[in-house]
Amino acid sequence: MTDIAPFSGFGLGLRRPHYANFLERSVPVDFVEIISENFMVDGGRPLATLDQISEHYPVAMHGVSMSIGSAAGLDRAYLKRLKSLTDRVRPLWVSDHLCWTGIGGHNSHDLLPLPYSEEALDTVCANIVVAQDALERPMLFENPSSYVEFADCGLTEWEFLSAMCQRTGCYLLLDVNNIFVSSRNHGFDGLSYLAAIPVDRVRQIHLAGHSQSEDMLIDTHDSPVAADVWSLYDAAVRRFGPVATMIERDDDIPPLDSLLDELDIARRRAALSVAAGRISCAA
């Protein structure tokens, strides 16, 4: 199984309101990210559109229903369909979430939390091995946003992620907004979280907006990146270097040019943070 080579581009999620933009003009992005399940079909317009767009832009595949934390194991039919799409797209990488999504064949269509216990770690690692073997490639897994805590877990989220990578050879999709949301909801330090993540395992960063509910932050992907999340992104780039960065927007989706302006902010901040990191190392 080959490693995933570093890639330092800036991209956007490919969403239906922007299909025409990508088909009709040259969009200044280095890659696009698709929701894998939207294209795990037997043909028709979605795949034809993806085929056209992938001729001009590298593609990352991001799944939302692998259910890597499932105690019942993975759905082999799902993995077969995902492998077929992977062979067609030849993506930069394939990713999914550190979560479970259903039970008994029922998909909750939500990213449900896991306890960070040794038992859950064993389950997740066993499932990752199955998934990576089925796809014949290493995968990326995304840290979740969190709204509940389990008693007596034994591991922190960052310890769980590090052990998961060490045991399976997988990589990480580091969602900086999720780190910020969870840190505020549960009272841990986002910078300490970043400091505990293995540098050589991070291959992509997600940025997104969140919302304030009555008593917690919610990862909603319906607004621009918040100032505090940008600051945490600066720290992430100083630690991990220039890894692929993407803006996620899944609700209240603005015109493409608005997202491109936000992506330019990421480019500028990343360049400044990389330079600051080099100066710090030199000193």
Q: Which two structure tokens, joined as six digits, stand for 215?
A: 């008593």
For residues 12 and 247, the answer to whether their CB atoms sit within 8 Å is yes
Using a 10 angstrom Cβ sphere, with 0-12 exposed, 13-18 middle and 19 or more buried, the burial of residue 5 is: exposed
Does residue 106 carry a pLDDT above 90? no
* pLDDT value, residue 217: 94
* pLDDT value, residue 202: 98
Does residue 27 carry a pLDDT above 90? yes
- Tell me the pLDDT of the chain averaged across its residues: 94
| CATH class of the domain whose range is 10-282 | alpha beta
* pLDDT value, residue 15: 97
* pLDDT value, residue 280: 54
Q: Where are the domains of the chain?
A: 10-282
256-272 pLDDT, tens digit each = 999 999 999 999 999 99
* pLDDT value, residue 283: 45
